[in-house]
Amino acid sequence: MVFQTNGTRWMDNDVYGHVNNVVYDSWFDTAVNASLIEQGVLGIHNGPTIGLVIETQCNYYSPLAFAQNAHAGIRVARLGSSSVLREVGLFAMDQPSTAAKGHFIHVDVNRHTHRPTPLPANFNHVWEKLL
């Protein structure tokens, strides 16, 4: 598992005093992509492939609110030939239990044709460590 830290912003809170549900998907996506960038395998501007989200899901267990930070723990649940199912757990910095958990399924596609393409070897190397 690899961890990324997400900071909450004032605008993330909704009228109920907690981070709105739409922010969680953004945190998941940011954590996954930041991890790939940090490991030097994602070329967001000129890489030959891009990952398109085909499914996302989130379960909420306890609220997060501004000004908490949240750790996003990422693991790979399934690695296909052109797709990856990543599970993400969000943890408030001072809490031992999961505030939310969810998953993303990305399909790698050719940047220009948007047709599925096999995962690049360098991506597989990164994700195999997180299976």
Tell which residue, 70, 60, 55, 53, has the closest CA to residue 7.
Answer: 70
What is the number of structural domains in the chain? 1
Tens digits of residue pLDDT in 98-108 = 999 999 899 99
Sheet holding 100-110, edge to edge: 2-7, 69-79, 83-92, 100-110, 49-60
Tens digits of residue pLDDT in 46-79 = 888 888 999 999 999 999 999 888 889 999 999 9
DSSP characters over 102-128: EEEEEEEEETTT--B-PPPHHHHHHHH
Provide the residue range defining the domain that includes 30.
Answer: 2-128
Before 67, cis peptide (omega within 30)?
A: yes
pTM assigned to the model: 0.84
CATH number of the domain encompassing residue 98: 3.10.129.10
